[in-house]
Amino acid sequence: MQGLNGWSFLFVQGPRRRMAKTSPGEFVRQVRAETAKVSWPTRRETITTTIMVLIMTSVLSLFFLGVDQVLGRFVKLLLSFAS
């Protein structure tokens, strides 16, 4: 790979393959077929998951608030020694 420097070797591509062209109608049919295979969550699962996410983000935000306050006071203490 002469002439390539750094990470450029990652971008070297082999021969390109052409994808088969599909009509917009065929594309829509394929999308509908694929979405029919998806296992969609129930309303109850969605609500439960949403509540869990809200609880966890609240707990984590309080945790990081506490860590930030402790570290802020520690830095102020260290800076008070410098002056």
How much is the pLDDT for 18?
A: 78
| Element housing 79 (H / E) | helix 43-82
CB-based contacts of 21, cutoff 8 Å, min separation 6: none
| b/e per residue 15-30 (b: at least 16 CB within 10 A) | eeeeeeeeeeeeeeee
Domain boundaries defined on the chain: 23-82
Q: Which comes out higher in pLDDT, residue 20 or 74?
A: 74
Distance separating alpha carbons of residues 83 and 80, to the nearest angstrom? 6
Residue 2 has pLDDT above 90, yes or no: no
Instruction: Give residue-wise pLDDT tens across range 12-60.
Output: 666 677 777 889 999 999 999 999 999 999 999 999 999 999 999 999 9
Q: What pLDDT is stored for residue 16 in this prediction?
A: 74
